[in-house]
Amino acid sequence: MVSGTDGRGAEAGAYIAIDWGTTNRRAYLVAADGSAIDTMRDDRGVLAVAAGDYPAELAAIRARYGDLPVIAAGMVGSTRGWREAPYVPAPADAASLAAALLVIPEERCAIVPGLSLLAGPRADVMRGEEVQVLGAVAAGLAPADALFCQPGTHNKWVRTEGGRITGFATAMTGELFALVRDHGILAGMLDGPVADGEAFRAGVRRGAGAADLPVALFEVRAAVLLGRLAARDAAAHASGLLIGADVGAQALGGETVQLLADGTLAALYTAAIETLGGAARRIDSHAAFLAGIHQLQELRS
């Protein structure tokens, strides 16, 4: 699937920016002032591209947007992508990332490195999310000192101080829900809709701070079998359990979360954050990415 916006020509384009993920990618034709002239999205993520095919992929994008330099972020710089861009250790800011760009001269392409974290016994990594976070701060979409949440298959919680990313944590919330929905004892019971409502919020409250999350998940089956939970609400409740455990681990205490999300996930995380005593402020993730990637492009120029 390929989608575009207004289809204006490439004559005003200064460079091409690509948010190249695991399953999808989004390419932007960017003007000199950082605004998007056009954008396209397709399913040519790194899992769909062989290691030797990246030059041809860039050629196809340039055929649409013009023979322009490229800057790419995300899983394209991972061990599963094109070429590995070594992680920059946190704390880090845009200047740290720009100084460590992996430049491929023959393709006129730069790949943004991800971030790594070693904090006591914890180890964590990210690729791509850091561009959105730093971009949101640079564009004034979020304060310099903030807690960000980026829901997805692997949800990211990111802390910034003075505009630098000082810490982050990855939660496999979306992946765990997919696993319990499609495999094991709950398979076939979680086919109902997942939406905000009492079943979801009850799950959020049960999951928050639960030291017995595996027990809570089995309770979904028992509650349906014993008539305590309607079968149509089982998926929403199970989702609430996992998102509640995820959000509850942050101990928000009334803090405002900068939520880089839209659609269903934004609604679910907003509900969970508010249920557990926080406040959610939604930010346009595409605008944040553009601001972040433009900042990096400017720093390398």
**Cis-peptide, bond into residue 91, ω within 30° of zero:** yes
List residues bridging with 17 in a β-sheet: 28, 71
Number of neighbouring beta carbons within 10 Å of residue 285: 22
pTM: 0.92
Q: Is 249 exposed, middle or buried (0-12, 13-18, 19+ CB in 10 A)?
A: middle
Give the pLDDT of residue 8.
47
Give the pLDDT of residue 5.
45
Nearest residue to 196 (alpha-carbon basis) of 103, 88, 300, 275: 275
Give the pLDDT of residue 11.
58
Residue 38 backbone phi and psi in degrees, to 5? -155, 155
- Residue with structure tokens 């994008």? 61
Encoded tokens for 221 = 């089956």
Residue 37 backbone phi and psi in degrees, to 5? -85, -40
Number of neighbouring beta carbons within 10 Å of residue 110: 22
Q: Does an H or E element contain 57, and which?
A: helix 54-65
Pairing of strands 146-150, 155-161: antiparallel
Q: Which domains does the chain have, with CATH numbers?
A: 10-120 (3.30.420.300), 171-283 (3.30.420.310)
Cα dihedral 44, 125, 115, 30 in deg (nearest 10): 20
Cα–Cα dist 181/295, whole Å: 40
Instruction: Going residue by residue through the chain, which has 301 residues, state the pLDDT in tens, using 9 for 90 and above.
Output: 344 444 444 458 899 999 999 999 999 999 999 999 999 999 999 999 998 999 999 999 999 999 999 999 999 999 999 999 999 999 999 999 999 999 999 999 999 999 999 988 999 999 999 999 999 999 999 999 999 999 989 999 999 999 999 999 999 999 999 999 999 999 999 999 999 999 999 999 999 988 999 999 999 999 999 999 999 999 999 999 999 999 999 989 899 999 999 899 999 999 999 999 999 999 999 999 999 999 999 998 6
Cα–Cα dist 150/241, whole Å: 18
Cα–Cα dist 127/129, whole Å: 6
